[in-house]
């Protein structure tokens, strides 16, 4: 079974902190994604990566950056966390342009 592992299920951070959300997949997938999910707004794509060191902006990249130094790991970085970044963050990966596998999610609260 494909496994997408997010490093934390719950995180509480302070405004202005630099926050790292880590995601690891174990199936040698080319593509990895970061989404955030908010009530009434659905799943929104922040960034995605189709290869090591390659990244593309999604629909809401402002305030975020990403890093993909190794194929299996895709990190989401909040340079200076703000309260409007309080959300559920979902990492996902895919290979054959068909099935996308999601991690369990990280619920981030920024106080």
Contact 55, 47 (CB under 8 A): yes
Q: What is the footprint of other proteins within residues 3-62 (CB under 8 A)?
A: 31, 33, 35, 40-45, 48, 50, 56, 58-59
Determine, following the binding rule CB under 8 A, whether residue 105 of this chain makes contact with other proteins.
yes
Strands (E), the chain: 4-6, 10-13, 19-25, 31-38, 42-51, 54-57, 64-70, 73-78, 87-94, 100-102, 106-110
Least distance to other proteins, CB of residue 105, Å: 6
Q: Which residues pair with 44 in a beta bridge?
A: 36
Determine, following the binding rule CB under 8 A, whether residue 104 of this chain makes contact with other proteins.
yes
Instruction: Give SS3 for 62.
Output: coil
Residue closer to other proteins (CB basis): 33 or 64? 33
Determine, following the binding rule CB under 8 A, whether residue 100 of this chain makes contact with other proteins.
yes
| Contact residues for other proteins, defined by CB under 8 A | 31, 33, 35, 40-45, 48, 50, 56, 58-59, 90, 94, 97-100, 102-105
């Amino acid at each position: 079974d494909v496994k997408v592992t997010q490093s934390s299920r719950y995180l509480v951070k302070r405004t202005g902190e630099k926050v790292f959300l880590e995601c690891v997949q174990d199936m040698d997938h080319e593509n990895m994604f970061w989404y955030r999910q908010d009530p009434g707004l659905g799943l929104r794509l922040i960034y995605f990566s189709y290869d090591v060191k390659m990244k593309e902006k999604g629909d809401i990249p402002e305030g975020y950056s990403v890093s993909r130094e190794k194929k299996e790991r895709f990190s989401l970085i909040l340079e200076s966390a703000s309260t409007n970044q309080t959300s559920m963050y979902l990492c996902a990966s895919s290979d054959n342009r068909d099935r996308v596998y999601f991690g369990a999610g990280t619920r981030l609260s920024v106080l």
